[in-house]
Amino acid sequence: MRGSKSSENELKPTLGLFDSATIGIGAIIGGGIFVVTGIVAGLAGPALVLSIVLAAAIAMLTALSFVELTAWLPAEGSVYEYAHRLVSPFAGFLAGWMWLVSNTFAGAAVSLGFAFYLNALFPGMPANLVAAALCIIFTAVNYVGVRQSAIVNNLLVSAKVVILMIFVAAGFSHVSSSNFIPFFPSGTGVLYGAYFIFFAYGGFARVAVVAEEVKDARRTVPRAMMLSLAISTVLYLLVGTVAVGLVGASALGRSSFPLVQAISVVGNPILTYILSFGGMIATASVLLTSILGVSRVAFAMARRKDLPPALSRLHSAYGTPYLSVLISGGLMIVLVLFFDLTAVVAVSTLAQLFYYGSANASALRLKTRTRQYPRFLPAIGLGTCALLMCLVNASALAIGLGCIAVGTAYYAVNRRSPKSNTGSPETAEKPQAARRL
């Protein structure tokens, strides 16, 4: 009977290295290069590429912490599980809570990005309603299963990588060196640009959230994270350099669909259509993995009763945490109807830096015998996350602090409930297994 109960509350490993890497690439390439590029260009100017490098370096430091943590214990819920077990239950709850906040806002941001690129093809379409419709469609895809989501994601990732390479190849010969002068219009702009472009890099750890659904997760998940981060960084640098060289940073900063704006200089309408299509599929793939990530962290938190236990129920036919999927998609729909792009990106990035800081703090707590890298690396990772958090604007900071306050209040009330539990029987055994590694 116990085995039956356990199987009802456990997810099955079905994803290989290719699936896992494309989940990371799908989460990274999309909102950043197709949407946030314009925001960053307006802040950093031609030094956009330095913002990309800086954000990549910070992401790489945090990725090394995830490599250590995943090798120690691959678990659904990722940073929530790690902070809960290595720092404190409250730290784990806040890390998971802010993961939910960040990726819910991220899903809303890329949904709006999709709508803007669709508007480049069909002007006049209501962006908020288009974004809401996309959320509905991709909530349905996640509802029927992670394997189906991975298949759709693989197709989307392959297509958008090809389209980005077309952009680089077609635009390279039209790059003007004058668009890079002056290279540093604003010294602080590079730092602020790194803050916003980090929004896109945040997806590198998305595969760690679904670790229990990955085959040979201790080896596959770290390899997938590093592979997806490396591929995405190279593409970001190529595309960012060509985009600035085509039209200049100021023109990119004024555009809601910056890569279409850039490729228009070439004078080939077919390329404009291709890039518009690429922007749509890129943002769509990020939305797909955002809903996947939010629903799985909610599942993990509910399994330990840090969220309502109903969120851990698995669909009898599809094997997915269907209530978590439906609520995740529903919240994104609300956000796209009432917030603009810059606001949702700023809040998402703040929350993202909070939980990635928690991942670095968790890696610091690993025992020496389980470490793969020197302890100073997660310390630097934690410090760089804190540095970027200092760059957030006042309105995003207020919303972020409000989310932390709401989460803290919920945790306090939930802990006082007689039904509250620190963990289910299934999860109670896992820390012991992890400590034996």
Q: What structural domains does the chain harbor? A: 14-423 (1.20.1740.10)
Q: Is residue 15 helix, strand or coil?
A: strand
- Phi-psi label, residue 88: left if phi above 0, alpha if psi -120 to 50, beta otherwise: beta
Q: In the numeric block, which tokens belong to residue 23? A: 């989940």
Q: For position 78, what pLDDT does the model report?
A: 72
Q: For position 431, what pLDDT does the model report?
A: 38
Nearest Cα to Cα of residue 274 among 54, 79, 39, 117: 117
Task: Report whether pLDDT(135) > 60.
Answer: yes
Question: Is residue 393 within 8 Å of 346, Cβ to Cβ?
Answer: yes
Nearest Cα to Cα of residue 28 among 160, 127, 168, 151: 160
Task: Calculate what percentage of the chain has a pLDDT beyond 90.
Answer: 27
Q: For position 358, what pLDDT does the model report?
A: 93
State the average pLDDT over residues 410-416: 89
β-partners of residue 214 are 15
Q: In the numeric block, which tokens belong to residue 130? A: 């288009």
Task: Report whether pLDDT(93) > 90.
Answer: yes
State the average pLDDT over residues 340-349: 85
CA distance between the termini of the chain: 29
d(CA 222, CA 206): 11
Cβ atoms within 10 Å, residue 231 = 18
H helices of 173-248, in order, are 187-201, 206-209, 217-247
Q: For position 30, what pLDDT does the model report?
A: 65
Residue-wise pLDDT tens digits, 347-376: 988 998 998 999 999 999 988 777 878 889
State the average pLDDT over residues 270-287: 85
Q: For position 287, what pLDDT does the model report?
A: 82
Q: For position 107, what pLDDT does the model report?
A: 86
Q: For position 145, what pLDDT does the model report?
A: 65
d(CA 343, CA 340): 6
Q: How confident is the model at residue 420 (pLDDT cuts 50, 70, 90)?
A: low
Q: How far is CA 170 from the centre of its chain?
A: 29
Task: Report whether pLDDT(9) > 60.
Answer: no
Worst-scoring range by mean pLDDT, 18-22, 259-263, 306-310?
18-22
Please report, to the nearest 10 degrees, the dihedral formed by the alpha carbons of residues 176, 181, 187, 193 taken in order.
-20
Q: Which residue has the higher pLDDT, 425 or 316?
A: 316
DSSP assignments along 258-272, one per residue: HHHHHHGGG--HHHH
Task: Report whether pLDDT(433) > 90.
Answer: no
Task: Report whether pLDDT(266) > 80.
Answer: yes
**Which amino acid is residue 363, in one-letter code?**
A
State the average pLDDT over residues 143-151: 66
| CB-based burial, 320-338: b 16+ in 10 Å, e otherwise | bbbbbbbbbbebbbebbee
**Which amino acid is residue 394, in one-letter code?**
A
d(CA 350, CA 354): 6
Worst-scoring range by mean pLDDT, 55-64, 218-227, 237-246?
218-227
d(CA 65, CA 67): 5
State the average pLDDT over residues 14-33: 75
Question: Is residue 235 within 8 Å of 33, Cβ to Cβ?
Answer: yes
H helices of 29-88, in order, are 37-44, 48-72, 79-86
Q: How confident is the model at residue 418 (pLDDT cuts 50, 70, 90)?
A: low
Nearest Cα to Cα of residue 313 among 288, 290, 295: 295
Nearest Cα to Cα of residue 221 among 354, 114, 78: 78
Q: In the numeric block, which tokens belong to residue 306? A: 């840090």
Task: Report whether pLDDT(413) > 70.
Answer: yes
d(CA 336, CA 324): 19
State the average pLDDT over residues 100-128: 86
Q: How confident is the model at residue 90 (pLDDT cuts 50, 70, 90)?
A: very high
Q: Which residue has the higher pLDDT, 36 or 262?
A: 262
Q: For position 166, what pLDDT does the model report?
A: 94
Q: For position 75, what pLDDT does the model report?
A: 67
Nearest Cα to Cα of residue 242 among 222, 223, 263, 257: 263
State the average pLDDT over residues 8-23: 71
d(CA 28, CA 22): 10
State the average pLDDT over residues 380-396: 90
Worst-scoring range by mean pLDDT, 102-106, 177-181, 280-284?
280-284
pTM (2 d.p.):
0.77
State the average pLDDT over residues 48-62: 91
d(CA 198, CA 9): 34
d(CA 341, CA 106): 10
Burial bucket for residue 291 (CB in 10 Å: 0-12, 13-18, 19+): buried
3-state secondary structure string across 340-392: CHHHHHHHHHHHHHHHHHHHHHHHHCCCHHHCCCCCHHHHHHHHHHHHHHCCC
State the average pLDDT over residues 183-204: 81
Contacts of 202 (CB under 8 A, 6+ apart): 27, 28, 59, 102, 106, 348, 349, 352, 356
Q: Which residue has the higher pLDDT, 305 or 75?
A: 305
Q: How confident is the model at residue 384 (pLDDT cuts 50, 70, 90)?
A: very high
Please report, to the nearest 10 degrees, the dihedral formed by the alpha carbons of residues 58, 362, 346, 136 taken in order.
110
State the average pLDDT over residues 311-319: 78
Q: Long-range contact list for 307-313, CB < 8 A, 24+ apart?
A: 312/9
Sign of CA dihedral 301, 307, 310, 311: negative
